Structure 1
């Protein structure tokens, strides 16, 4: 899909080790309206701190991102590397330093090899005319097993535009934000205040509704840039064009979020957790995340064990209001428990058959109100332990 007004480049800087592209650049030919959300972890990486400071302007023209090193817990030296990298890219592009976002992913606590990045920047900028968005998706991977991309197209004022995005993430995935990087670009002209609202709503329904292992990183970043190169009349809030744009944005982000869960480290299952009948939506999300983050529940999913009691236990300690005698549970269309007790009959066998599938749905009805929430998660396997035990080596 052609995204007007953007250029891409990725090169090998051997930040962690040689043999793959690990430094990437997204460049908008004009300053773009922009919004971003970042990790809520109190321990934030240097590039996150720098980008948070700059995004307040609501305008971004370029993003420099690396994999292999998080530049987190690196003190003043790490912040200096982030600022120097941004300055060098700005000088090479001939644009304002403040219009550059900086992002990193990889090992925490290791100083960034600034000399390798400095040496790679000229080639990175020179390669902008020939790169693709796919190159960026490949370069930001760490333990990912496949690059994550999605795109949609729409129209405003009779003029076509596109929305495209990439993401990385497989482990340390937890809402607010999930442990991931995601970059969304659009050539649509969008009124900045509406762009910010629509983007945050889409993030809440996607990246803040997934969990792989309950861990939250230091580097989580999700950024959107809309540069208006398509030439459409600016999309304004509370218009039919705004509703279409927001739906397309939601579809792109949700697809990327689901790809992250499907690529969860060692994952063999993709599970949709739906909680209904809660006192309110907040309670529903508390209960859904409690189920999705429970190691006992997730290992039961891996073992294809219809151990429904673990799910009720997770709901009970979630902090949501719960009346045990009103709880109902289904695995897909199989009723496992009704009014707080086992459904009996062949429910155990039929429930286990559901868990043998690669994808299935768990529905818990709290029976208290109209609140509901859906989150997406994976199982917890032997391979997850192996991957994370060996990550730094």
Structure 2
């Protein structure tokens, strides 16, 4: 055996070069791109990705018209025509809505809310029920004129049966006006309807960053953006583009919703406004024209003149439901104060203003509730 071969040892330089070569091969293997399979092409998002796990809420807008859908008219500095803009156009005019929810719009009507009627109310109630029963959306926003928005809200509050939110919204200034409030109000209505905090709160009204419940909210000023107030209670909460804040936990439902009459018509219940030197003619006229109920917008705590009081008693004797409300903006009409309601067979409206007292009376009569004691219980229970 060759002695030189048996005693050979590699030099340190050769050993270092060999180690470097091995390391390079390993790095090349580790850094090579992974093969792309046909089942999951490059750039695709898997079912377990964060994007699909956080789908946006689905909101359907039901547009009815009103100032929020109005367009300016040159007849005066503040002149406008209600119901000139569609619900879809409203959505397109509010930047950022697409970040809040997946939004669709439907046109139920396009009228000023002074023309709001039973037909539109029934269409709204039935469409909302269909939406929620069919799981078409997580919430509904209704664009509405401000003149009768509180009445529509109160009607829907009494006939809908769902934990999902229904938010009514309008504006005090039409599109195109200086400082138009419609776009922000609509943004916040969708924000509220899409919020998890709105679940189990039913019907709400949003105006001027404020959340109201149907029983308490009312319009208090002809033109101010702060017109909507909850006069006999605090607002339900507040909303701005950054937050939704409720002042109290969601309340419990205290009664089953009223059924809609099959003929799509609510009973005739006029409101009669009390005043000085009031006679009995308007009440007698309501009796002669087959009114099923009469709401008195009385003075003070629901009072009327002596001739009008005698006419109210005649109405009760005819089987007509008579409600004593007040024309005063806030406060409660209580039983048996200046009037013996127990003896007379009258019902008091408590905190409900005349227009809401009318809606509740119509629903009660339509559902066969006409006895004064049962009607009175319903007025106390619909908080």
**If you compute each CA radius of gyration, which structure gives the higher value, 1 or 2?**
2
Q: Which structure would you say has the larger RCO, counting Cα contacts within 8 Å and 6 or more residues apart?
A: 1
TM-score (norm 2): 0.26
- TM-score computed with the length of structure 1 as normaliser: 0.26
